[in-house]
């Protein structure tokens, strides 16, 4: 383990270690299912979409299910504001994603794989389709009974939630389902399904090519390896960076900030809005602030009220609207901070709103409504004056 | 054998089958968890979140309706965390809801109101959102009114329309703050595929969906000295009305109901069961005529199976979904509409009353009847045959308005002319009843003997709710004029709920149906589960009403429609022969109206 990480740039996801893009596939297909699971488990890889479920376990659960049909789904509904890494992966190294999906199909026995591509990425569909066709052809040549398809989303943020994504793929209105059952038991079309983020599949390919143990050497005890960060906002060097996990937010801001950073949205709008005073104590990783990779930096010219208002406006639009806490809670939070700002409600109403966000956090049906609390609590607890005056 | 799961709820150790939800497990142990979007008749949605509970070692509060039990689970249904969450959730719903409770039809029967009371809501914690919503009221349908300001988006109506009826006239639209329950392209409900069955009304927890009320119009007619107000009551009203006055579901209150109607001031109280008998005669003869045309005359234009048309929501559904199969529908009007036509012809003539002065009222368990009586086809008398239709609930409201102490009323009986009915007429209230009554009648016509079932009770037809019940009847020893039916096996089926109607019609359309005669009722269990019946609706109540209908039938001596003396009378005196002349003009529709599928 590498303690005391400052900022360590890694070059794995976008780099090719091989001559031919099918070399990964060929190597992985020589591995046994047990070897694949073992490598993934040893790597400590957790879902890179943000929820952080151990990938090895997910594949194993799906493999253990007996069913006439199983599916592999790649979640390319990269909707979190501030994240744009999956787009880059699909544009630059799609074969790594496709290889990861194929490895998953080998383990689970799935015969069909789907890439759920967000509507806003339809510009890349033709190119991606070419890569998929080429890859499918290779699979056929290698006599691998697995085929990959692209499904286009329709533009709803909530469809990035895995079960809403299945609804959308099935042609229905995208609404998160009740869990359990989880997708590995009942997912797309009610069949066992592994659904992983684009980056997770690409990372799996890399782990399987250079070994899980090697990958686990990066990062901390809890947050292994490296991941992609989409860095935007008040920074001179925005972009996508692959960084070793476990750095503090302080070190991160030292590197990427503009010298005047007052807060960072770690994990996009549904993540915490971390204030400067907490930069030193905040580790970017599962032990601190987990993230799907979106890092939005704000300097002192930005109004936290405006930022939070913008986030809440986003949530009240993008909630699917089915569950009470999320549908009405988001509207109340936005209305509430407006009323406090205008002086129509007492500043103490912010505490009611904080309590409301906590109730949403425990009672909402899916991650969308549950995570609205993150920016709200950060703002109310750390930037209260900005919300009042 | 299902695996047994052990868990603890509120310190009680509980063992239940695997697959049971936390909510069900709690109920079995007498622990009441409040619910809102949950309904026994429907699939689990888990969207209102009112039923959340605390689970040990879990960050979030799972919705108990949607979470299966697990071994060793420790649940607390009444922790501070749970109470706080629940209270906030109710307050959130109220902030979007038009809580003008005293002016709401669901006042004191609203599930949201009950939750507000139970959760001790005494102030408005949150900001009123109603002004932002542009809520509207859709009053254009004669049957169903939608007040969007009272909708809490629990989607019970959506699930009802989809699961029970397979129609999906209502669905969720938009997302986030704009998410709402609405119709196709937000068109008025009277212009979309809605069958008007009203089951959405029966399953709505608030006042968002209600029937179109005609109470005031009926009072006006009663109070108009120039008008002669005739009222008819459907078979299933008498086994349900008592519930509105605190009586047990399934209590038969025929006598009190008639007494109450007299007290309300109706001039004549007659029985829809009588025209149910008439329907049996007409429909039985129509079936036999179709069988003859098909089997003997080889007339390909005649459609079999013939399908009953007593249920107006079914007829409208068929016009939408199977507009190319309308030839299968019996041309017989429903008992209500036969009565309506007769009230302004036969009745008017007999009692020498100007039909223009007659106001014909029907008390129905049904909401779709409010659509039916407004159909242009239902004007055979030269007037609107049935002027107003009231639901069982509306009748109860009128009785309460008039200050009548229902339970202490002395029994009264129906007036004569159209007030006597056979048991066959009464069982129309249950799904399968029309079929049973028609078979009794047809068998007697063809064979000249009673159908060989003890007490004439064709028990194989007494199926359970939501089931497609099939039966075969073989005719042996037929009368000479029906000899073409000798040895012929007639296959019949009946079903309730339009989701089942779809299955049957799909087979008919594909030409794979083996039936000759089919009865379809739109509502769960038939009319006893009609959308106009006392609320809340649930299977236990519907079962009690069903039993009451069969018990009630046992108390009636006349069991076949053709033995009803008033039926014999009306044919001798007025109608002539079944299916002919006057009977044809007054009791049958000229045709049906093909409608769009959206």
Would you call B310 a catalytic residue per the annotation? Answer: yes
The per-residue pLDDT for range B275-319, each reduced to its tens digit, is 999 999 999 999 999 999 998 999 999 999 999 999 999 999 999
CB distance B175–A335 less than 8 Å? no
Would you call B283 a catalytic residue per the annotation? Answer: yes
Architecture of domain B283-332+420-530+552-587: 3-Layer(aba) Sandwich (3.40)
Reading across the β-sheet that carries B358-364, which strands appear in turn?
B268-271, B228-233, B358-364, B388-391
Closest chain B residue to the Cα of A370, Cα to Cα? B60
ipTM of this predicted structure: 0.94
CB distance B49–A364 less than 8 Å? yes
How close A296 gets to chain B, by Cα (Å)? 24
Domains for chain A: give ranges and CATH numbers. 23-216 (3.40.50.11540), 304-388 (1.20.1440.230)
Q: Helix, strand, or coil here: B138?
A: strand
Q: Would you kindly state where each structural domain of chain B is located, as residue ranges? A: 4-78, 124-211, 215-274+337-408, 283-332+420-530+552-587
Would you call B369 a catalytic residue per the annotation? Answer: yes
- Mean pLDDT of the residues in chain B: 96
Would you call B110 a catalytic residue per the annotation? Answer: no
Active-site residue among B283, B519, B553, B566? B283
Asked if B411 and B255 count as a contact pair (C-beta separation under 8 A), the reply is yes
What does the DSSP assignment read for B450-514? --SSGGG--GGG---TT--EEEEEE--S--GGGGGGTTPEEEEEEEESHHHHHHHHHHHHHT---
Q: Would you list which residues of chain B are within 8 Å, Cβ to Cβ, of chain A?
A: 44-50, 52, 59-61, 63, 66-68, 81, 84-85, 88-89, 92-93, 95-96, 125-127, 129, 132, 152-153, 155, 171-172, 174-179
CA B162 – CA B145 distance, rounded (Å):
19
pLDDT confidence of A4, banded at 50, 70, 90? low
CB distance B177–A325 less than 8 Å? no
CB distance A324–B92 less than 8 Å? yes
Closest chain B residue to the Cα of A325, Cα to Cα? B89
At A40 the pLDDT is 97
Active-site residue among B141, B236, B311, B330? B330
CB distance A325–B49 less than 8 Å? yes
Chain B residues inside the 8 Å CB shell of A350: none
CA B313 – CA B172 distance, rounded (Å):
22
The per-residue pLDDT for range B439-453, each reduced to its tens digit, is 999 999 999 999 999
The per-residue pLDDT for range A243-299, each reduced to its tens digit, is 999 999 999 999 999 999 999 999 999 999 999 999 999 999 988 888 889 999 999
**3-state SS record for B313-363:** HHHHHHHHHCCCCHHHECCECCHHHHHHHHHCCHHHHHCCCCHHHEEEEEE
Question: Testing the interface with A: which of B63, B71, B88 to mutate, by most A Cβ within 10 A?
Answer: B88
The CATH number given to B124-211 is: 3.30.70.20
At A230 the pLDDT is 97
Asked if B230 and B270 count as a contact pair (C-beta separation under 8 A), the reply is yes
The per-residue pLDDT for range B44-89, each reduced to its tens digit, is 999 999 999 999 999 999 999 999 999 999 999 999 999 999 999 9
Closest chain B residue to the Cα of A175, Cα to Cα? B175
Chain A residues inside the 8 Å CB shell of B171: 173
How close A152 gets to chain B, by Cα (Å)? 19
CB distance A359–B68 less than 8 Å? no
CB distance A324–B47 less than 8 Å? yes
pLDDT confidence of A1, banded at 50, 70, 90? very low
Q: The domain B215-274+337-408 is classified under which CATH number: 3.40.50.1780, 3.40.50.1980, 3.40.50.720, 3.90.1150.10? A: 3.40.50.1780
The per-residue pLDDT for range B404-447, each reduced to its tens digit, is 999 999 999 999 999 999 999 999 999 999 999 999 999 999 99
CA B392 – CA B534 distance, rounded (Å):
7
What burial class does residue B499 get, using C-beta atoms within 10 Å of its C-beta: 0-12 exposed, 13-18 middle, 19+ buried?
middle
In the structure encoding, which two tokens stand for residue B461, read together? 């037809």
At A2 the pLDDT is 45
pLDDT at A353 over 70: yes
At B489 the pLDDT is 93
What does the DSSP assignment read for A155-201? S-GGGGSHHHHHHHHTTS---PPPSSSPTTTS-GGGS-EEEEEHHHH
* pTM of the predicted structure, to 2 decimals: 0.94
Query: What is the average pLDDT across B40-46?
Result: 96
- Mean pLDDT of the residues in chain A: 95
Architecture of domain B4-78: Roll (3.10)
Q: Picking from A329-333, B100-104, B250-254, B454-458, which range would have the lowest pLDDT averaged per residue? A: B454-458
């Amino acid at each position: 383990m590498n303690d005391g990480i400052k900022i360590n740039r890694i070059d794995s996801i976008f780099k090719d270690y091989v001559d031919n893009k099918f070399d990964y596939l060929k190597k992985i297909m020589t591995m046994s299912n047990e070897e694949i699971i073992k490598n993934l488990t040893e790597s400590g890889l957790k879902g890179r979409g943000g929820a952080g479920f151990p990938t090895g376990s997910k594949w194993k659960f799906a493999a253990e299910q007996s069913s006439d049909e199983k599916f592999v789904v790649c979640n390319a509904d990269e909707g979190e504001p501030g994240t744009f890494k999956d787009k880059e992966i699909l544009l630059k190294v799609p074969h790594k994603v496709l290889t990861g999906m194929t490895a998953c199909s080998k383990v689970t026995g799935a015969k069909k794989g789907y890439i759920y591509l967000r509507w806003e990425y339809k510009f890349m569909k033709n190119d991606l389709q070419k890569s998929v066709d080429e890859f499918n052809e290779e699979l056929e040549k290698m006599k691998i009974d697995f085929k990959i398809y692209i499904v286009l989303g329709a533009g709803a943020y909530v469809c990035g939630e895995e079960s809403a994504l299945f609804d959308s793929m099935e042609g229905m209105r995208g609404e998160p389902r009740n869990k359990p059952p989880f997708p590995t038991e009942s997912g797309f079309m009610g069949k066992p399904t592994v659904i992983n983020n684009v980056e997770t599949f690409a990372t799996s390919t890399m782990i399987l090519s250079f070994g899980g143990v090697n990958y686990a050497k990066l990062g901390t005890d809890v947050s292994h390896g490296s991941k992609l960060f989409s860095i935007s906002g008040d920074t001179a060097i925005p972009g996508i960076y692959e960084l070793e996990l476990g750095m503090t937010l302080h070190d991160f801001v030292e590197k990427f900030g503009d010298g005047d950073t007052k807060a960072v949205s770690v994990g996009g709008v549904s993540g915490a809005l971390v204030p400067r005073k907490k930069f030193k104590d905040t580790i970017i990783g599962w032990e601190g602030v987990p993230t799907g990779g979106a890092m939005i930096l704000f300097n002192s010219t930005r109004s936290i009220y405006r930022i939070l208002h913008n986030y809440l406006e986003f949530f009240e639009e993008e909630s699917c609207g089915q569950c009470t806490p999320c549908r009405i809670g988001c509207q109340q939070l936005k209305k509430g901070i407006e009323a406090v700002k205008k002086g129509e409600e007492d500043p103490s109403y912010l505490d009611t709103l904080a309590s409301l966000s906590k109730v949403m956090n425990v009672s909402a049906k899916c991650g969308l409504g549950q995570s609205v609390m993150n920016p709200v609590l950060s703002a109310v607890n750390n930037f209260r004056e900005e919300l009042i005056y | 054998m299902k695996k047994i799961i052990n868990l603890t709820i509120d310190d009680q150790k509980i063992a239940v089958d695997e697959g049971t939800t936390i909510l069900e497990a709690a109920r079995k142990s007498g622990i009441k968890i409040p619910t809102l979007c949950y309904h026994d008749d429907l699939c689990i949605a888990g969207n209102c979140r009112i039923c959340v509970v605390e689970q040990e070692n879990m960050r979030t509060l799972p919705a108990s309706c949607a979470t299966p039990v697990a071994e060793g689970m420790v649940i607390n249904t009444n922790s501070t965390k749970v109470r706080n969450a629940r209270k906030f959730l109710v307050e959130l719903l109220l902030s979007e809801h038009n809580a003008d409770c005293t002016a709401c039809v669901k006042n004191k029967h609203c599930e949201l109101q009950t939750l507000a009371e139970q959760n001790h809501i005494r102030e408005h914690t949150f900001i009123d959102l109603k002004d932002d919503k542009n809520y509207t009221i859709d009053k254009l349908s004669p049957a169903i009114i939608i007040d969007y300001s009272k909708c809490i988006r629990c989607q019970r109506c959506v699930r009802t329309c989809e699961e029970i009826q397979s129609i999906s006239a209502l669905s969720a639209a938009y997302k986030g703050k704009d998410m709402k329950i609405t119709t196709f392209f937000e068109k008025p409900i009277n212009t979309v595929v809605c069958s008007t069955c009203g089951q959405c009304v029966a399953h709505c927890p608030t006042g968002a969906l209600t029937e179109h009320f005609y109470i005031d119009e009926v009072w006006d007619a009663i109070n108009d000295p120039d008008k002669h107000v005739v009222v008819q009551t459907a078979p299933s009203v008498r086994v349900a009305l008592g519930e509105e006055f605190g009586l047990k579901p399934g209590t038969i209150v025929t006598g009190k109901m008639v007494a109450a109607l007299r007290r309300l001031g109706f001039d004549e109280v007659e029985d829809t069961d009588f025209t149910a008998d008439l329907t049996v005669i007409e429909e039985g003869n129509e079936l036999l005529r179709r069988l003859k045309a098909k089997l003997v005359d080889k007339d390909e234009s005649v459609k079999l199976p013939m399908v009953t048309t007593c249920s107006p929501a079914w007829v409208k559904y068929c016009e939408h979904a199977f507009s190319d199969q309308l030839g299968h529908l019996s041309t017989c009007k429903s008992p209500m509409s036969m009565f309506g036509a007769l009230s302004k012809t036969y009745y008017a003539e007999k009692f020498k009353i100007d039909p223009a002065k007659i106001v014909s009222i029907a008390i129905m368990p049904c909401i779709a009847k409010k659509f039916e009586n407004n159909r242009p086809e239902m004007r055979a008398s030269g007037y609107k045959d049935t002027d107003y239709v009231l639901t069982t609930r509306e009748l109860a409201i009128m009785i309460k308005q008039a200050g009548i102490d229902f339970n202490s009323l002395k029994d009264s009986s129906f007036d004569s002319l159209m007030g006597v009915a056979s048991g066959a007429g009464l069982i129309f209230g249950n799904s399968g009843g029309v079929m049973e009554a028609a078979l009794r009648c047809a068998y007697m016509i063809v064979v000249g003997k009673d159908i060989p079932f003890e007490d004439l009770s064709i028990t194989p037809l007494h199926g359970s709710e939501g089931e497609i019940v099939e039966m075969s009847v073989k005719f042996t020893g037929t009368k000479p004029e029906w000899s073409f039916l000798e040895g012929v096996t007639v296959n019949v089926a009946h079903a309730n709920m339009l989701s089942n109607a779809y299955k049957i019609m799909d087979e008919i359309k594909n030409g794979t149906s083996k039936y000759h005669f089919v009865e379809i009722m739109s509502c769960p269990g038939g009319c006893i589960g009609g959308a106009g019946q006392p609320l809340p609706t649930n299977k236990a109540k519907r079962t009690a009403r069903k039993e009451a209908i069969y018990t009630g039938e046992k108390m009636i001596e006349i069991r076949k429609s053709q033995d009803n003396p008033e039926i014999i009378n009306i044919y001798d005196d007025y109608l002539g022969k079944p299916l002919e002349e006057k009977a044809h003009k007054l009791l049958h529709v000229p045709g049906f109206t093909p409608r769009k599928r959206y």
